[in-house]
Structure 1
């Protein structure tokens, strides 16, 4: 049986799309370069610098832009310079894209759980680890980055109906490990979560104290400077969030944002700029419909105190 062709990772797709955008905006008047023109410019510059032009071809560049081929950081540098970017004035762009090329195929800590973590889930974890910010509307559950271990295991067991007990435990460990992005030394993830008030009323028959402990976790998280937490009250006007939950994953310039949509059988990504903006606009309207951060914290605290008295 022939080997299956590897599926492009989200990192590689993001890199290819960013390079394509810079190519189509290049040129003296910003009219863009064709694939052939871009390759000719790269080869010309390389030969002027004493090289032999390398292995560049329009077919190679096309495969890079469509995430079907790997690209080395040094080749990213060549392309960006050919597109007219200045390595000193626009160092942030060079650093971001060279780094993405370097890590596009790099294995992360989650590879240890490759037996239970699907390729799509691994893609998302890599996005999350690269992200600068995440804005999430979560109408059904406490977001994974704010869950405690017991809540994570119970909710995973409920939804992962085909998983063994050992696999559920492993997935819960993965979810807990992901939370390291909220306190990473190089810059904590900025996390803005809006949850539906109904989530605060969830009960677990076999674990009567589970939700109380989870609410305490929310109170602690809400006090962190990089976390914004809001609650959508039970009685509120209709808003765009009624169509379902989503996550807006933001990255440092020049990488475009990505939207994650989840369901029982996996996840899908929204990557087109216009579509991502639609979700960003929807999130702003959801924010406006929800309780303020202070009101939300007060509501969660009251719910916690009620639980402590029972």
Structure 2
């Protein structure tokens, strides 16, 4: 976000550093912008002033962020295997967002998983992490689901899941999928959650590019887009990139089944798994 204000002011990192004082350098500015360098609340206020930002709401929010930097979150006891940096970023984003829109073609997202499904998926995908560390990953995922029903500031959630996910089978656990699909139906009844299903016979749509999530926050925070593949999660910040993915998501929703029909589709597959 600081980078965004510097760019708007038309300043290079070196120019901003010169305005900040003798102890500042371009690399120091870069480290702070990439959240790998420390900055105090008074320094935040000075930096924003150099960038021409005088809105007291923005200054106050960023000063508070600087004061809280380095404090441990509730997830800190889980260890780095369960909470690598990209997962910590995700926890922050999901906890602060006003709305979250996501498309999932490969795996039912963690927010909607049962513990049994999470265990099987973790065993299949986290094969480079020692098995004894898998329970912590699953437990963390279950705790994160509290964000769906947190007592204040409920975010609005819109999920689109590919129908193929409803057809997964776990031979050694025949009741796993009926329970998982029941979980989808239960969550879909929450007043702040909508789930749509992308049918098997859907035509081409922007979701063909893979999993993506768009987070929108209260002012002054810019929106964030997260994309995911086998090897990495990537984050992009700003109105322009979020606008592109919001448009993509609108097209995905049009291609997907309506909410009511999606619920019937989930029920159909749940009944099919039960036989």
TM range (shorter): 0.7 to 0.9
Per the alignment, residue 219 of structure 2 pairs with: 253
- Is 1:296–2:262 an aligned residue pair? yes
How many angstroms apart in 2 are the aligned matches of 1:84 and 1:158? 48
Per the alignment, residue 142 of structure 2 pairs with: 176
Partner SS, residue 127 of structure 2: coil
Per the alignment, residue 113 of structure 1 pairs with: 78
**Compared with structure 1, are the counterparts of its residues 290 and 95 closer, same or farther at alpha carbon in structure 2 (3 Å cutoff)?**
farther
Return 5+ residue gaps in structure 2 as ranges: none
Deviations 1:161-214 (A, max 9, x none): 223332221111111111121122231232211001111111110110111111
Partner SS, residue 106 of structure 2: coil
Per the alignment, residue 235 of structure 2 pairs with: 269
CA contact (8 A) 1:247 1:259 kept: yes
Per the alignment, residue 243 of structure 1 pairs with: 209
CA contact (8 A) 1:249 1:259 kept: yes
- Measure how far apart 1:115 and its partner are: 4.3
Deviations 1:217-271 (A, max 9, x none): 1111001111111000111111111121112222222222222222333322233
**Compared with structure 1, are the counterparts of its residues 66 and 303 closer, same or farther at alpha carbon in structure 2 (3 Å cutoff)?**
closer
How many angstroms apart in 2 are the aligned matches of 1:39 and 1:263? 37
**Compared with structure 1, are the counterparts of its residues 267 and 212 closer, same or farther at alpha carbon in structure 2 (3 Å cutoff)?**
same
**Compared with structure 1, are the counterparts of its residues 291 and 104 closer, same or farther at alpha carbon in structure 2 (3 Å cutoff)?**
farther
CA contact (8 A) 1:108 1:126 kept: no
How many angstroms apart in 2 are the aligned matches of 1:135 and 1:270? 15
- Measure how far apart 1:216 and its partner are: 0.8
Deviations 1:87-111 (A, max 9, x none): 2xxx2x2343233323343221222
- Is 1:219–2:185 an aligned residue pair? yes
- Measure how far apart 1:159 and its partner are: 1.1
How many angstroms apart in 1 are the aligned matches of 2:194 and 2:65? 28
Per the alignment, residue 105 of structure 2 pairs with: 139
TM-score normalised by L of structure 1: 0.77
Aligned residues: 272
Per the alignment, residue 4 of structure 1 pairs with: none
**Higher Rg:** 1
TM-score normalised by L of structure 2: 0.86
**Which of these residues, 14, 39, 43, is aligned with residue 71 of structure 1?**
39
Partner SS, residue 109 of structure 1: coil
How many angstroms apart in 1 are the aligned matches of 2:80 and 2:177? 30
CA RMSD of aligned residues (A): 2.6
How many angstroms apart in 1 are the aligned matches of 2:108 and 2:36? 36
**Compared with structure 1, are the counterparts of its residues 170 and 67 closer, same or farther at alpha carbon in structure 2 (3 Å cutoff)?**
closer
**Compared with structure 1, are the counterparts of its residues 170 and 58 closer, same or farther at alpha carbon in structure 2 (3 Å cutoff)?**
closer
Superposition pairs of residues 150-161 of structure 1, within 5 angstroms: 150-161=116-127
Per the alignment, residue 234 of structure 1 pairs with: 200
How many angstroms apart in 2 are the aligned matches of 1:21 and 1:196? 35
Per the alignment, residue 130 of structure 2 pairs with: 164
How many angstroms apart in 2 are the aligned matches of 1:69 and 1:164? 31
Return 5+ residue gaps in structure 1 as ranges: 1-17, 27-31, 44-54
Deviations 1:247-302 (A, max 9, x none): 22222222222222223333222336544433222111111110111111122123
